[in-house]
Amino acid sequence: MSVLTLAASLLIGVFLGVLGGGGSMLTVPILVYLAGQHTQQAIAASLFVVGVTSLAGLTSHARAGRVRWRTGTLFGLAGMAGAYAGGRVAAYIPDTVLLVGFALMMLATAAAMLRGPRKTSKQAHGELPLHRLLLQGLLVGVVTGLLGAGGGFLIVPALALLAGLPMGSAVGTSLLVIAMNSFAGLAGHLSDAHLDWSLTLAVTAAAVLGSLIGGRLAGRIPQRALRTGFGWFVVAMGGFVLGQQIGPVVLAPVPVVVATLLVRRRRAPGTESPPRAVAPASGSSHH
């Protein structure tokens, strides 16, 4: 195993610890493009790595009170059913289709995160209704099992944008859900994929170390910066994976589309201060 693979594995944990997601989006490309594994094998290994790393990162968030246990447990239980089913179905889908779907989902999620919440959710300080938790958890679980992604890049936006959880709580809670989904998805893959355990355990060890570092940093980063950093990271990884599967030409429109999205967001009514008026200091809270 190369030093580059181990260094990238460390980043898996850092992103999981800080963002509550992103680690799984690094794991599959690392195992495919750096370690030379086949897509199906990389997806199965990714689920193990991300599951263990998420449990390690969860501890620091739990101690800091950033985990909503009821929301996470219900979301995760529904997700486990979907993840197991997705893992079983993945064996019948071509590798290229899986990776292209993986990249497109990443880009769609990045757009939602960079756009930010359109309005304050009525659930901001409560919990999502049971039926919504179960439905969203099931759908995220299917994606987890199919693509080998822990689902943090879907769970964090769902908890932050739809449930109205503070970003810190969404990150901490997502780690619980990611671990549950990952192990259920792994169970669905084990009958068809053979893991290289020496590589898998080495990547896991580096990622766990990174998650402990990331967990300590999470509470010190501003909420808006956390959301924006998450979004741009997903844009970069989604564009890379899509370019590898379809061709570099598809990379060109990605930054243009995202930049257009951000400009439209900033120019939307009520988002700019009139040039002839002095905006009060509290006015920035609407952004």
Return the structure tokens found at 231.
């979004």
Residue 120 has pLDDT above 70, yes or no: no
Among residues 120, 177, 107, the alpha carbon closest in space to that of 144 is found at 177
Interatomic CA distance for residues 112 and 187, integer angstroms:
31
What pLDDT is recorded for position 39?
A: 81
- Nearest to residue 51, comparing CAs of 85, 70, 79? 79
**Token pair for residue 1?**
């195993």
Per the prediction, the chain carries an average pLDDT of: 75
> Which residue in this structure is represented by tokens 């447990």?
73
74 Cβ contact list (under 8 Å, min separation 6): 130, 133, 134, 137
pLDDT of residue 125: 46
Q: Where are the domains of the chain?
A: 3-266
Is residue 196 a contact partner of residue 45, using CB atoms and an 8 Å limit?
A: yes
Helix (H, G, I), strand (E, B) or coil at 1: coil
Looking at residue 33, the DSSP 8-state letter turns out to be: I
* pLDDT tens string 68-113: 888 888 888 888 888 888 888 887 888 788 778 777 877 877 776 6
List, for residues 211-234, the tens digit of each pLDDT value.
888 777 766 777 677 767 777 877
Sign of CA dihedral 202, 203, 209, 211: negative
**Does the pLDDT value for residue 281 go beyond 50?**
no
pLDDT-wise least confident of 73-82, 146-155, 194-203 = 146-155
Reported residue count of the chain is 287
HSE of 190, CA atoms in CB hemisphere, 13 A? 10
Assign 201 a pLDDT band (cuts: 50, 70, 90): very high
